[in-house]
Structure 1
């Protein structure tokens, strides 16, 4: 009842080549799949990450329940063949973990099931054997239909039939890099539910909490971090690469993607050199490279949001905030470097963690060292220049991400108290950094709006210096939770 697959979006120019490559296999076949998806009028199944459908597969009709699994590539799936004339009945999935959740959800919702959307897909499949591994490759071409709305489908699914999940990732890497494909974790059901609601772009996804098991080892902790990073990164990357989140609509998706890359880099630094920790330097370097390729567009958005109300209150027109024009985020995320990073991270998330040293002791030592380095800076804070304060801000942010990783293995109340002090420091230093960036951007301009903003920024900078110093002092007074 567990399905492990990876979905790759196929650009139109590549579709014929992939179809031909699949058709060359001796196990290749082609069929039309028409499915009807059901949900409550309020969309309760979609919100719970579940999908219930009846699909015509040649002469067969199959009722299927799908639900989210333990990671972004694993899903619960239960199929029941239907006899002629039989209609949808959720009780057919009773006795399974997903079925029990479904029945309880429908009981709580107290709403009937109804058709929400359909899919009409032509699928070309081929079995692929490599040693003990057996995979199924399927090229799906068609559309998702909800009322008068349509969402075209052209994607390659690589599903594990027998063997190791790593085989799926290895094959996905070859096909993605050879044909210019990109990973998309949005299922047809997720896209169909949006279409039924008249939506296209999904909400930006924030970083999920890292929950470590009691007595976690270093390898177990790293796997938990890798899985949380993937949920954060791939959800936002799929929206941006798919082109649905573009321009102003995609600004928050891009922000969350950048946050996810920073968190990943901080995690790589946090685990560095520990007994039992994997070699993660290449992963950190790849995350840093991808982050740098997004350019300064997000910084300009922040500066514009900071100064727009200042100009409006003064009755002045907004000065232009130029953006550094790099490649569009969608192009960057469809590229080979981004796909290689996601697949490397998926490799860490899917493998079975080996034995290793306990996580808590080295985590406590590193948290203690990073904390001491930050609070010691208060003594020389007034003598720092803005570039040095920017470095301090990045160290505060890195420490906060590390606390997010390790916090679940320490006393909850003490962790929460420390997180509040750390968040206050990060907020103060973040606003200070925004003011410094705005001053650099406007420096040397002679128009009235820029000159007014520079005066406001100078006064705001002095006030924020006091806030930053106070936040550091408060952090130094906060009891350590890692003792």
Structure 2
């Protein structure tokens, strides 16, 4: 079995031993297809502190059935999980690195140990409609064994123990209703669930079989669960708004960590965005902290810098290749395309290697620990402020003033430093945009409008910066082509086109700047819904 990924949509139901699965009901509306019986043996792995379980994630090695292997399940909705499957391989007690990659941002450098074994005797009924599978109903008899001991909390390496002899292990029966991937889940669930409930079932309190075992052994402590990013109420205080923003971006950071490790072309870009948003939120909210998290902001800056080279090389390569594609064939002289790919693809790969190395470093893992600690205990001087909009308006006004000064420096500064001034203005526009996004739950549609307009300014300035980088690289590539005895004409042509593009981006910036409210107005947009 090759590595695969799919979306699993299922619901679990608690049932008594005497309950009868309603597969013979004539009014069920589906034809019962093949019935299979399986014996599934699964070993669940987690950190001694159950970090994966606390986030609703399961990692197991399962034998039996047609999908035996290593399985990682990550929640993505109320009834949905992303399931990543890997072949069994030879490893039994140590989780392979490839299996851990999707959850490495959670596990970090902590040990993964066996925490429980589950044996499931399963009878599976396939429900069909017009000869097509719609859902599967599973009648499971489950027995379990708890392996985690108090010793594991101080254990740093893989554990070879077989677990305690605990006679008080939960054995239970449950039903699972899983929608076939590709089918619309809601109507299928809505049409079948009433029959299950009429047969004495009730929705399970546990989202996974492991969750039931964890709760049985007293390890399910809700107060220890990491805070989830829920939508705050408009009247929420500043602390709640900031925490929600941070938790959401930390989740994005974890998600893009997995994407980068899997080779996703957008992983670096999106991870850098999450990093910047986190750093910007902490910078904007700095006056509110009893003790500003300056060290954490510096570590986020480091992470952004580590991710930068790979993304920058990718952007410039794609941009220059597109510009080259737009030229008539007679104007492309020499091995221009191969030189672009040779130089820039090499830089991109080098940058990715550096980024991957950083993601496996102790420094990165401690950064993730620090982010968790911050959201768990967010100490703000204004955390109980009765008017969040007023506090946020002051923060937005401050960032808007910074952008205004930066734009003034663009107009009045040294012409030789014009490009540098434009880049500084871009960073200030981005910070204002993120500040407005932070304020949106309290400020409503006008705060959202402010974020959109700040984004337009940021993007125009970003397009200008792209031309600056492109011109620098084209000069270097043209010089290298000349030294190698190649024709540098096309590089000069592209450089000239980038100069014209830079002029257009200046106009784009001026238009966007005209529509951005000045500091006092920006503050009013946030303070009044």
Report the Cα offset of residue 372 of structure 1: 2.4
Residue in structure 2 matched with residue 300 of structure 1 by the alignment: 313
Q: State how 1:358-437 maps to structure 2 within 5 Å.
A: 358=386, 359-384=388-413, 385-412=418-445, 414-437=446-469
Report the Cα offset of residue 307 of structure 1: 1.8
- The one of 454, 460, 465 equivalent to 2:506 is 465
- The one of 277, 292, 307 equivalent to 1:263 is 277
Q: State how 1:62-77 maps to structure 2 within 5 Å.
A: none
**Structure 1, unaligned stretches of length 5 or more?**
43-50, 61-78, 91-101, 114-122, 128-133, 137-158, 170-207
Report the Cα offset of residue 409 of structure 1: 0.9
Residue in structure 2 matched with residue 236 of structure 1 by the alignment: 256
Q: In 1, Cα distance between the equivalents of 2:282 and 2:195?
A: 48
SS of equivalent to 2:307: coil
- The one of 348, 359, 377 equivalent to 2:374 is 348
Residue in structure 1 matched with residue 172 of structure 2 by the alignment: 81
Contact 2:457/2:509 (8 A) holds in 1? yes
Counting matched residue pairs gives: 353
Residue in structure 2 matched with residue 165 of structure 1 by the alignment: 224
Report the Cα offset of residue 88 of structure 1: 4.3
SS of equivalent to 1:213: coil
SS of equivalent to 2:220: strand
Residue in structure 2 matched with residue 482 of structure 1 by the alignment: 526
Q: In 2, Cα distance between the equivalents of 1:273 and 1:476?
A: 23
Q: State how 1:309-320 maps to structure 2 within 5 Å.
A: 309-314=322-327, 315=329, 316=332, 317-318=336-337, 319-320=339-340
Report the Cα offset of residue 369 of structure 1: 1.9
Residue in structure 2 matched with residue 154 of structure 1 by the alignment: none
Report the Cα offset of residue 427 of structure 1: 1.5
- The one of 14, 30, 54 equivalent to 1:4 is 54
Report the Cα offset of residue 333 of structure 1: 2.1
Q: In 2, Cα distance between the equivalents of 1:233 and 1:408?
A: 21
What are the Cα deviations for residues 268-292 of structure 1, in whole angstroms up to 9, with x where unaligned?
A: 1011021x55532222122111222
* Alpha carbons of structure 1 residues 162 and 369: separation in structure 2 relative to 1, 3 Å: closer
SS of equivalent to 1:81: strand
Contact 1:360/1:409 (8 A) holds in 2? yes
Q: In 1, Cα distance between the equivalents of 2:250 and 2:473?
A: 34
What are the Cα deviations for residues 271-322 of structure 1, in whole angstroms up to 9, with x where unaligned?
A: 1021x55532222122111222224111111112222222112123424243
SS of equivalent to 1:291: helix
Q: State how 1:168-207 maps to structure 2 within 5 Å.
A: none
Report the Cα offset of residue 52 of structure 1: 9.2
Contact 1:303/1:437 (8 A) holds in 2? yes
Report whether the alignment pairs 1:290 with 2:381. no
What are the Cα deviations for residues 314-347 of structure 1, in whole angstroms up to 9, with x where unaligned?
A: 1234242431624354443233222222232233
* Alpha carbons of structure 1 residues 36 and 386: separation in structure 2 relative to 1, 3 Å: farther
Q: In 1, Cα distance between the equivalents of 2:518 and 2:287?
A: 30
Residue in structure 1 matched with residue 236 of structure 2 by the alignment: 216
Report the Cα offset of residue 452 of structure 1: 1.6
Report whether the alignment pairs 1:106 with 2:106. no
Contact 2:281/2:435 (8 A) holds in 1? yes
Contact 1:375/1:476 (8 A) holds in 2? no
Report whether the alignment pairs 1:280 with 2:339. no
Contact 2:238/2:392 (8 A) holds in 1? no
Report whether the alignment pairs 1:253 with 2:267. yes
Report the Cα offset of residue 439 of structure 1: 1.0
Contact 1:41/1:112 (8 A) holds in 2? no
Q: In 1, Cα distance between the equivalents of 2:216 and 2:379?
A: 23
Contact 2:281/2:434 (8 A) holds in 1? yes
RMSD of the TM alignment (CA)? 4.7
Report the Cα offset of residue 237 of structure 1: 1.0
* Alpha carbons of structure 1 residues 41 and 402: separation in structure 2 relative to 1, 3 Å: farther
Q: In 2, Cα distance between the equivalents of 1:59 and 1:363?
A: 51
Residue in structure 2 matched with residue 205 of structure 1 by the alignment: none
Residue in structure 2 matched with residue 15 of structure 1 by the alignment: 94
SS of equivalent to 2:451: helix
* Alpha carbons of structure 1 residues 39 and 261: separation in structure 2 relative to 1, 3 Å: farther
Report the Cα offset of residue 353 of structure 1: 7.8
SS of equivalent to 2:54: strand
**Structure 2, unaligned stretches of length 5 or more?**
1-11, 13-52, 61-69, 71-90, 97-108, 130-135, 146-169, 179-184, 197-209, 480-487
Report the Cα offset of residue 405 of structure 1: 0.8
SS of equivalent to 1:161: coil
Q: In 1, Cα distance between the equivalents of 2:117 and 2:509?
A: 64
- The one of 385, 399, 415 equivalent to 1:357 is 385
Contact 1:410/1:482 (8 A) holds in 2? yes
Q: In 1, Cα distance between the equivalents of 2:112 and 2:127?
A: 41
Instruction: Calculate the TM-score normalised by the size of structure 1.
Output: 0.60
Q: In 1, Cα distance between the equivalents of 2:110 and 2:368?
A: 25
Q: Which one has the largest radius of gyration? A: 2
Report the Cα offset of residue 8 of structure 1: 9.6
Residue in structure 2 matched with residue 176 of structure 1 by the alignment: none
Instruction: Calculate the TM-score normalised by the size of structure 2.
Output: 0.55
